[in-house]
Amino acid sequence: MLSIRTEKEAQAASLFQPGRQLVKLKTRTARAARRQAGWCTGAAILPFFLLSTGGAHAVPAPAPALVVANASLDPFSSSKAAGIEALLITVVAFTFAWLYCRKAAKAQKRAQMAEAEAELVRAQAELVQAKAELAHHNSEQAQEFAETLIESATVMIIGVDNAGELSLFNKTAEKLTGYTSQELTAGNWLEKLFPGEEFAPARDALTAMIRRELDKPVESLLITRSGEERQIAWQCRHVLWQDEPIALMFGVDLTERAQAERERHDLERKLLDMQKLESLGVLAGGIAHDFNNLLTAILGNAQLAKLQMLRSSPVHQHLMEIERTSLQAADLCKQMLAYSGQGKVETRLLDLNRMIRDMSQLLRISVAKKVSLSFDLAHTLPLIQGDASQIRQVLVNLIINASEAITDKEGSIWVSTGVVHGAKHLFEGITVTGRPRERDYVFVSIADTGCGMDEETRARIFDPFFTTKFTGRGLGLAAVLGIMRSHDGTLELTTSVGEGTTFTLLFPKAEIMDHSFREEEPTAVPCWSGEGLAMVVDDEESVRTLMARMLESFQFRVLEAVDGRDAVEKFTASPGEVSVILLDVTMPVMSGLEAFDHIRAIRPDVPVLFMSGYMSDGELRNRDGATDFIQKPFKLDEFQAKLRILLAATSELP
């Protein structure tokens, strides 16, 4: 049975014994005072007793010299002297009697005071004893309460005595550590819970807390009996336990909280990565949009100039160079738009196995000579819907990166395909573009035996223009990330320094064939011309001027509008005269999509060709009627083919 000695009980016990001793002392004092009073009373009565029995008997015999002297005196003088002597004796007797009576009275008074003080001390001692009994009763209740509190506590409670041995080990401590109190008290408990040199600082800190050398909380790892690490926060209080001073160690298990904190930090890091990629994507998309408008004017005017010039002209070659350079700049814009996820996605049904087989020779010549390229393709693979050219770009970029990661050493690259379910797939790597949803995915995995990446490099590989290679590289993986986002896919990355890297691309499996997307590229028809009024809607004057010249070369009359609101107002004035509308998507005041809704409300059958530098044609799937999309910048023959097919489809509508 554990016992707790409270402060009140200890104080009562300390006061009770001296109180009893003081009662005894006061009692002895009273008795001595009474005895002294008795002696004084007897001394006062004694002279009167002697006088009552006779003066001669009361007076001692005179000295011989006095007798001789007196013998010679007169007999009358002798009797007179005897009377005076008796008188003197009587006075002295009364004086001594008065003094001893007074002294007896004082002694009696002191005896009465001593008795009163003894009674008061006795009453105080009884009160202290009653308090001690009450404190003892309360201490038993406190003991039971303390036992219940300690054993039911959800924190570890460990009691350590002055010798450093365990005197208390509650159930929570046994549950967390896996040890019983008997197992730990049998040996050095610090060595068992904090083993080895690695945990020496923890042992030193707890020892300092026990010795009152450290009074602030301490956090440390603790090794359980099963070898598991638990993170514990310690605090120490010094109390009396079983009448002995001990150090009570309170330990709070922070393992789950620390794990949740790490997960929160990981989530914050991923969120920051996503926000950074989104911000860079918006920046890249905005730059590419403005740049594509400029390229549209440059490329279109160069092609119009070529049509009006003989091939033998020396200027024709310069125009060809302008056209070639503009197309290269347009490819750079496509990479930026692919990174931002806003590039043109010409979706069609694709067989990834067939695409990889068709690209195998190109992929083999893209890797170094010392690197072996192996394919492990699934026997049968569902189709996906995607842009073939963009997916080819992704595969080529990843294969080239894998080859360069192996450097000039011998190594291997493996390309594999298969099907996984998003919810059942166990992700070992880092999911860059978001976790897959509850559906089937077709995956392409590209693994290499290269140098791998550290955490710092991994965090930046998808930033535009970041590269570990020579200057001038760095849009490859950024474009890969944007392409996967535009395909509603998922990109996984698993890498470790010295152990290689694995990229896994997951594309949603195609469910049905979407016939609204054509698999054949439109081709231009020589000498084709249209008729009627064509409305050009674009906020860039250079683009409007170019489109007007192109349409006039196709025998169209042209009506220009500077934004969506202007287009709606001009179309409302003469809705029946407009044969086709060329509508830019992104414009101030009113966007192209808003203007489209107003125009279709007036005339549902008017054909519309959307134009944009960074819009995906997937955004137009829910637009009914005759519509199509062309990506800026575009060539003259591509524009002619799109326009011809759109008008032909309109004439076939009932």
Model confidence over 73-107: pLDDT tens digits?
Answer: 455 456 667 777 777 777 776 676 677 667 767 76
Taking CB atoms within 8 Å and a gap of at least 24, the contacts of 519-527 are 519/348, 519/349, 522/638, 522/641, 522/642, 522/644, 522/645, 523/637, 523/641, 524/637, 524/638, 524/640, 524/641, 524/644, 525/640, 525/641, 525/644
Per-residue pLDDT, 417? 94
DSSP one-letter string for 238-279:
EEEETTEEEEEEEEEE-HHHHHHHHHHHHHHHHHHHHHHHHH
pLDDT band at residue 52 using 50, 70 and 90 as cut-offs: low
Mean pLDDT of 181-187: 74
pLDDT of 158 > 50? The answer is yes
What is the predicted pLDDT for the residue at 468?
67
Q: Where are the domains of the chain?
A: 7-139, 156-253, 265-332, 348-508, 533-652
Condensed to tens digits (0 to 9), the pLDDT of residues 582-596 reads 999 888 889 888 999
**CATH number of this structure's domain 348-508, picked from the four choices 3.30.565.10, 3.40.50.300, 2.60.120.560, 3.40.30.10:** 3.30.565.10
- Whether 238 and 248 have beta carbons less than 8 Å apart is answered as yes
Q: What is the pLDDT of residue 488?
A: 83
Is pLDDT above 50 for 575? yes
* Cβ contact 563:588 at 8 Å: yes
Residue 31 pLDDT greater than 80, yes or no: no
- Answer whether residue 67 shows pLDDT above 50: no
Q: What share of the chain is helix, strand, coil (3-state, %, to 5)?
A: 55, 20, 30
CATH fit for domain 156-253, picks 3.30.420.40, 3.30.9.10, 3.30.450.20, 3.40.50.300? 3.30.450.20
Strands 371-376 and 430-431: unpaired
- Find the range with the poorest average confidence among 60-69, 237-246, 542-551: 60-69
Place domain 533-652 in its CATH homologous superfamily: Response regulator (3.40.50.2300)
